[in-house]
Amino acid sequence: MAIAPDRQVFEAAASWYVQFQAEPPTLAEKNAWQLWIDSDPAHLAAWNQVEQLQRHLGTLPQDLKRRALSTGQQRRQVVKLLLLAAGTGFVGWNVQQHTSLGNVWADYKTEIGQRRDLTLADGSQIQLNTDTAIDVTFDATQRLIRLRTGEILIQTGKLGDQRPFFVETQDGRVQALGTRFSVHQLSGSTRVGVLEDRVSIQPDDDSTAARILQAGEGADFDRRHIGLIQSFTSSQAAWSNGQLIVLDARLGDVIDELQRYRRGVLHCDARARELRVSGTFRLDSTDAVLANLQASLPINVRYFTRYWVSLSHRA
């Protein structure tokens, strides 16, 4: 049974998180944080909630995000902002639909590090990536998937259903035109990639900005604009097979991707982030991936706790 942290516990977890975002913790601070985490299951639950919520800070104004790197009273304001961002006011754990805390009411969801396969009534197949939540609405006029958070890969059904198939995100709608495609809800935008056939993208606030993507194409869009069309290959959807495939990628980008599949903090210093890496990595074992990276690159991987891992460039 999941443990619901109360307001005081959540505020404590948020305070730890903001403090660690503002400046690197000392060894004493790390030890104190670990003792706090281990002392009560509700503490770990609250930390996990804060860590999930942090993934969506990109939806807050930039000036509010910058405050998280300030000190003193401003940090305390950020803790309050985290409470507000959760959409709760913390009169109990009542939340709004577009926050990760609200995903408890989603029709289908995955936890961090988990993937899930679904087959819908029309024969469509949907794969949910890590930390993903969707709602499914099939009625007389449409087949609608609402992507609350995360990333999905869709293969539309082959049963001759004539109702249009839509994926709705915070930024607009994607219509499948007999296809296999992925949709990823980012902070402030949506990323679409097409593997088969075509899709149509329609931002919410600009009805004239609709665009068709063909197989092998991808694009990001927000509520008003559609970005440049990029190439999209099956390797970019390799997560559906539990793989991360990269070719001459920045280590920092690889670490950011791995962070999506594990709880806690995965930190990489500036010098190490610029190293280049190629390979195929198993997303089901991020610790093994980190060991592999340490063996093949000039980096040190240090585990302060199982929830706090730091990568640094080795002199």
pLDDT digits (tens, 9 = 90+) for 51-106: 776 655 444 444 444 444 444 555 566 666 666 555 444 333 333 333 444 565 67
Categorize the per-residue pLDDT at 308 as very low, low, confident or very high, splitting at 50, 70 and 90: confident
The fold for domain 109-236 equals Jelly Rolls (2.60.120)
Mean pLDDT, the chain, integer:
83
Average of per-residue pLDDT across 142-159: 92
Domains 109-236 and 242-313 share a fold: no
pTM above 0.75, yes or no: no
pLDDT in tens, 59-72: 444 444 444 444 45
The rounded percent of the chain whose pLDDT value lies above 70 is 80
Domain 242-313: which CATH number of 1.10.3720.10, 3.55.50.30, 1.10.10.10, 3.40.309.10: 3.55.50.30
Reply yes or no on whether the pLDDT at 222 is more than 60: yes
Give me the residues paired with residue 150 across strands.
Answer: 185
The span from the first CA to the last CA of the chain, in angstroms, equals 47
The pLDDT assigned to 43 comes to: 85
Q: Distance of CA 180 to CAs 108, 216, 243, Å?
A: 20, 11, 18
Categorize the per-residue pLDDT at 207 as very low, low, confident or very high, splitting at 50, 70 and 90: confident
Burial tier of 268 (Cβ tally within 10 Å: 0-12, 13-18, 19+): buried
Can you tell me the distance from the alpha carbon of 99 to that of 120, in angstroms, rounded to the nearest whole number?
25
Maximum alpha-carbon separation in the chain: 64
Q: For 161-258, where are the E strands, in sequence order? A: 165-168, 172-185, 190-203, 211-214, 217-221, 230-231, 243-250
Cβ within 8 Å of residue 59, ≥6 positions away: 85, 170, 187, 188
pLDDT in tens, 124-147: 999 999 999 999 999 899 999 999
The pLDDT assigned to 226 comes to: 95
Give domain limits for the chain. Answer: 7-104, 109-236, 242-313
The secondary element (H helix, E strand) that includes residue 186 is none
Cβ within 8 Å of residue 158, ≥6 positions away: 123
